[in-house]
Amino acid sequence: MGSNVGDRVSTFDRALQLMKNSGVNITKHACLYETAPAYVTDQPRFLNSAVRGTTRLGPHELLKKLKEIEKNIGRTDGIRYGPRPIDLDILLYGNCQIDSDTLIVPHERIHERPFVLAPLVDLLGTSAADGIETSWHSLSKCSGGLFELWHKIGGESLIGTEGIKRVLPIGNRLLDWCERTLVMGVLNLTPDSFSDGGKFQQVEAAISQAKLLISDGADIIDIGAQSTRPFAKRLSPTEELERLVPVLDAIAKIPEMEGKLISVDTFYAEVAMEAVKRGTHMINDVSGGQLDPTILEVVAELGVPYVTMHMRGDPSTMQSEQNLQYGDICKEIASELYARVREAELSGIPLWRIVLDPGIGFSKKSEQNHEVIMGLDFIRREMGNLSIGASHVPILLGPSRKRFLGEICNRSNPVDRDVATVAAVTAGILNGANIIRVHNVGYGVDAAKVSDALLKVRR
């Protein structure tokens, strides 16, 4: 898939829907790439991605459907390799090798195009997770398959250059989350949150705190109206909205929010829908769709990024002895998070809108939190054994002021754990976190800046 004319992200969304309507069941998505134009260079930058699916359409029938979709979206013949609202190509079709007047499969120019190879490799897994990986690895004109082709032209070293960047579509922009660490500021509207419960329930207090978080450098304000601390009483969607809506409406209107993003921390589909209608840019779901499975289809329809977090059970059961049992905790988190990714994708949320959160403090003992923070890179690599693309999505880390930091530093008051939080998020960023969720944004921003500077030396 490629597009460099008009609202490229919306065009991709429309193309995916039209493919589904035409008999293509999309089962996997690549990441989203913004790329420099090839061949004809005097034109806007492209968005590129790829999808994988199943269909009863034969290859030539499928090609005909894709051309109809291109025409429906507004593509005309134009200049070859020139600007276009949408470009849909068949790269591979099962194990078939086709050479006809209208279709060549595998696509004949895969080997020379980073903007094709990067998303195509994303669709692979190095395990047998999807059943037919071997044929996809080997189906190319180069011995060693697609990985060999990708590495031969530069592979991961190309990502982040002017030629090709992975991006997250959010609001009206494309975020390159590898360029720098993003800082998410926490705004709790609950009376019983462990750190600041009850302080920001009134609209005026919440607005004042939001302005402080922004002035300290927050990129994202994460608003939560439902406590998810252990054994917290669960609110209904109606109760949660009664708390959330007045504050959300007020914050969305303040001038300081210009250029900033709003996230809402909820596991209810009804709350997510209402929040996005009122200007929210991202949904942060601690349950990954397990507490209200309809949230996945709702978020897919809303077309916003979705944070899926690792948690076993719910806040009332997550710290039970059974849910705290792990063999290899990082390996199991990768496997369980990938199961949530698959559910999200099959519900229509493309991989390029998914953010992963390993769930610090959720279904984890203190020592297990240490392992997770230091094991983020391992979690990413283990995810790559299941899906190359899923191993490349942003990771959000939220250790801020949590109990395990108090236990290490002997700080019983959560507010006294900000320095410990700096140490935890620094370790997390150096091990692969792309977004940090913190209460003290000023400290978090400084920690992110130092960590990013250190990472540049490593590279």
Mean pLDDT of 187-195: 76
Query: What is the distance between the alpha carbons of residues 72 and 68, in angstroms, rounded to a whole number?
Result: 6
The CATH number of the domain holding residue 46 is: 3.30.70.560
321 and 346, same domain (yes or no): yes
User: How many CB atoms are located within 10 Å of the residue 266 CB?
Assistant: 30
Query: What is the distance between the alpha carbons of residues 261 and 219, in angstroms, rounded to a whole number?
Result: 6
198 and 340, same domain (yes or no): yes
pLDDT at 316 over 70: yes
- E-state strands within 228-334: 261-265, 282-285, 306-309
151 and 225, same domain (yes or no): no
By the 8 A CB rule, do 278 and 247 touch?
Answer: no
Mean pLDDT of 76-94: 88
267 and 404, same domain (yes or no): yes
123 and 200, same domain (yes or no): no
Q: 56 lies in which domain range?
A: 2-169
Mean pLDDT of 433-450: 98
Whole-model pTM: value is 0.94
Mean pLDDT of 284-305: 97
Tell me which DSSP letter residue 232 carries. P
Model confidence at 192, in pLDDT bands (50, 70, 90)?
A: low
* pLDDT given at position 259: 94
157 and 185, same domain (yes or no): no
Residues 6+ apart with CB under 8 A from 426: 447, 450, 451
pLDDT at 125 over 70: yes
200 and 126, same domain (yes or no): no
288 and 437, same domain (yes or no): yes
Tell me which DSSP letter residue 395 carries. B
pLDDT tens digits along 400-412 = 999 999 999 999 9
Q: What is the largest CA-CA distance in the chain?
A: 73
Instruction: Indicate the residue among 169, 202, 218 that finishes a domain.
Output: 169
Mean pLDDT of 364-393: 96
195 and 123, same domain (yes or no): no
By the 8 A CB rule, do 257 and 213 touch?
Answer: no
Angle (nearest 5°) at CA 371 between 369 and 376: 100
Query: What is the distance between the alpha carbons of residues 42 and 296, in angstroms, rounded to a whole number?
Result: 40
Residues 6+ apart with CB under 8 A from 45: 4, 34, 35, 36, 37
User: How many CB atoms are located within 10 Å of the residue 134 CB?
Assistant: 11
Active-site positions?
402, 437
Which of these, 3, 1, 2, 29, lies nearest to 300 by C-alpha position? Answer: 29
Per the structure, how many domains does the chain have? 2
Query: What is the distance between the alpha carbons of residues 425 and 439, in angstroms, rounded to a whole number?
Result: 12
95 and 218, same domain (yes or no): no
Look at the chain and count its residues: 459
341 and 195, same domain (yes or no): yes
Which of these, 250, 228, 215, 235, lies nearest to 307 by C-alpha position? Answer: 228
161 and 208, same domain (yes or no): no
Which of these, 84, 81, 85, 83, lies nearest to 10 by C-alpha position? Answer: 85
